[in-house]
Protein backbone atom coordinates (compact mmCIF):
# COMPACT_ATOMS: atom_id res chain seq x y z
CA UNK A 1 0.00 0.00 0.00
CA UNK A 2 2.87 2.49 0.37
CA UNK A 3 3.03 2.61 -3.44
CA UNK A 4 -0.66 3.49 -3.56
CA UNK A 5 -0.13 6.29 -1.03
CA UNK A 6 2.74 7.71 -3.08
CA UNK A 7 0.70 7.46 -6.28
CA UNK A 8 -2.14 9.29 -4.55
CA UNK A 9 0.18 12.16 -3.65
CA UNK A 10 1.63 12.46 -7.16
CA UNK A 11 -1.75 12.34 -8.92
CA UNK A 12 -3.93 14.14 -6.32
CA UNK A 13 -6.55 11.41 -6.71
CA UNK A 14 -8.77 10.13 -3.94
CA UNK A 15 -8.38 6.57 -2.72
CA UNK A 16 -11.84 5.68 -3.99
CA UNK A 17 -10.75 6.77 -7.49
CA UNK A 18 -7.36 5.03 -7.32
CA UNK A 19 -9.00 1.73 -6.47
CA UNK A 20 -11.08 1.96 -9.69
CA UNK A 21 -8.24 2.63 -12.16
CA UNK A 22 -8.10 -0.02 -14.89
CA UNK A 23 -5.16 -1.26 -16.91
CA UNK A 24 -7.25 -0.99 -20.07
CA UNK A 25 -7.59 2.77 -19.48
CA UNK A 26 -3.83 3.34 -19.35
CA UNK A 27 -2.34 5.06 -22.40
CA UNK A 28 1.35 4.18 -22.30
CA UNK A 29 2.24 6.27 -25.32
CA UNK A 30 0.77 9.49 -23.88
CA UNK A 31 1.46 8.57 -20.23
CA UNK A 32 -2.15 9.21 -19.25
CA UNK A 33 -4.92 7.24 -17.63
CA UNK A 34 -8.66 7.65 -17.95
CA UNK A 35 -10.57 8.16 -14.74
CA UNK A 36 -14.04 6.82 -15.38
CA UNK A 37 -17.02 8.81 -14.18
CA UNK A 38 -14.95 11.40 -12.37
CA UNK A 39 -17.12 13.71 -10.32
CA UNK A 40 -16.77 17.45 -10.58
CA UNK A 41 -18.39 19.66 -7.93
CA UNK A 42 -19.27 22.24 -10.58
CA UNK A 43 -20.89 19.72 -12.94
CA UNK A 44 -23.99 17.64 -12.30
CA UNK A 45 -22.90 14.63 -14.29
CA UNK A 46 -19.76 12.59 -13.76
CA UNK A 47 -17.61 12.26 -16.87
CA UNK A 48 -14.57 10.34 -18.03
CA UNK A 49 -11.38 12.35 -17.82
CA UNK A 50 -7.80 11.67 -18.86
CA UNK A 51 -5.12 12.70 -16.39
CA UNK A 52 -1.38 12.88 -17.05
CA UNK A 53 0.95 10.58 -15.16
CA UNK A 54 3.95 12.81 -14.64
CA UNK A 55 7.38 11.93 -13.25
CA UNK A 56 7.12 9.66 -10.22
CA UNK A 57 3.49 8.73 -10.98
CA UNK A 58 4.57 7.21 -14.30
CA UNK A 59 7.50 5.44 -12.62
CA UNK A 60 5.09 3.86 -10.14
CA UNK A 61 2.82 2.61 -12.93
CA UNK A 62 5.82 1.08 -14.72
CA UNK A 63 6.82 -0.73 -11.51
CA UNK A 64 3.42 -2.38 -11.04
CA UNK A 65 2.70 -5.92 -12.20
CA UNK A 66 -0.18 -6.05 -14.63
CA UNK A 67 -2.35 -8.63 -12.92
CA UNK A 68 -6.12 -8.52 -13.12
CA UNK A 69 -8.20 -5.54 -14.23
CA UNK A 70 -7.17 -2.92 -11.67
CA UNK A 71 -3.90 -1.11 -11.05
CA UNK A 72 -4.59 -1.10 -7.31
CA UNK A 73 -6.89 -4.03 -6.47
CA UNK A 74 -7.79 -2.88 -2.97
CA UNK A 75 -10.99 -2.07 -1.18
CA UNK A 76 -10.96 1.72 -0.55
CA UNK A 77 -12.19 1.18 3.01
CA UNK A 78 -9.26 -1.14 3.73
CA UNK A 79 -6.84 1.46 2.36
CA UNK A 80 -8.36 4.17 4.54
CA UNK A 81 -8.13 1.93 7.60
CA UNK A 82 -4.49 1.11 6.85
CA UNK A 83 -3.69 4.79 6.41
CA UNK A 84 -5.38 5.73 9.67
CA UNK A 85 -3.55 2.99 11.58
CA UNK A 86 -0.24 4.13 10.10
CA UNK A 87 -0.94 7.71 11.18
CA UNK A 88 -1.85 6.53 14.67
CA UNK A 89 1.31 4.41 14.94
CA UNK A 90 3.41 7.39 13.85
CA UNK A 91 1.45 9.71 16.19
CA UNK A 92 0.53 11.98 13.31
What global pTM score does this model have? 0.81
Quote the domain boundaries for residue 58: 2-89
Report yes or no: 6 and 60 within 8 Å, Cβ to Cβ.
yes
Report yes or no: 63 and 3 within 8 Å, Cβ to Cβ.
yes
**CB within 8 Å of 41: residues ≥ 6 apart:** none
Residue 51, H or E segment: strand 47-52
Give me the number of domains the chain comprises.
1
User: Terminal CA-to-CA distance of the chain, rounded, Å?
Assistant: 18
Count helices and strands (H / E) in the chain: 4, 3
pLDDT greater than 90 at residue 86: no
Residue-wise pLDDT for 41-84, tens only, equals: 676 677 889 999 999 999 999 999 999 999 999 998 988 888 88
Amino acid sequence: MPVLFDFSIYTCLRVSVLCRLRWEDLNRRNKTIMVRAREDPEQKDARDEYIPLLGPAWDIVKSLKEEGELLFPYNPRSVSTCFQRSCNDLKI
